[in-house]
Amino acid sequence: MSTSYSIFQDKELFEYLGRALYECQRLEIALAHIICDFHLLKDSIQGNNLLERLQAFQKLLDSKLDCTLGMLVTELRKKLPNLDEKCKDLLSKALEKRNEVVHRFFYEHWVAVAMITPAGRNIMLKDLKQSIEIICAAYELSENIRNQLDTQMKSG
């Protein structure tokens, strides 16, 4: 990579940034669904008939999809107080990484962006890869939680 490197033409960097953003949204959607599944399991979705219950469920899901990841993590922790510390820590780390990617990524790497060095680029890629790894692990955790809820719903 020469000193005439242009971040705006770095497809690999932006592919990783896009992947990180995708994983963030995938995790948010998964947690919103888990919270709604929890309401189904606890039979707290009201309605006089199936259509009204489906409409209430959709309204609840829409409201959860409007929540931030931080709000979803907080609510999930309240609804699942038996979540072990390792899981809570992973969700907190995923939230931290999501906030870094969405709100502070270029700000935190501003010197690297402004100076546009190969070393700065490599640091950005490393950070994005680490964020993706942590957020994907949190998503896998969410899938395990959702599977447990599904099992409870089928047996209950």
Tens-place pLDDT, residues 134-151: 999 999 999 999 999 888
What DSSP string runs through 25-51? HHHHHHHHHHHHHHHHHTT----SSHH
Tens-place pLDDT, residues 17-71: 999 999 999 999 999 999 999 998 888 888 899 999 999 999 999 999 999 999 9
Q: What is the mean pLDDT of the chain?
A: 89
Identity of the amino acid at 48: N
19: Cβ contacts below 8 Å, ≥ 6 apart: 128, 132
Segment 69-82 mean pLDDT: 94
Segment 90-101 mean pLDDT: 97
- Torsion angle in degrees (nearest 10) through CA of 149, 36, 65, 99: -40
pTM: predicted TM-score of the whole model, two decimal places: 0.88
83: Cβ contacts below 8 Å, ≥ 6 apart: 76, 77
68: Cβ contacts below 8 Å, ≥ 6 apart: 28
List the chain domain ranges.
Answer: 9-155
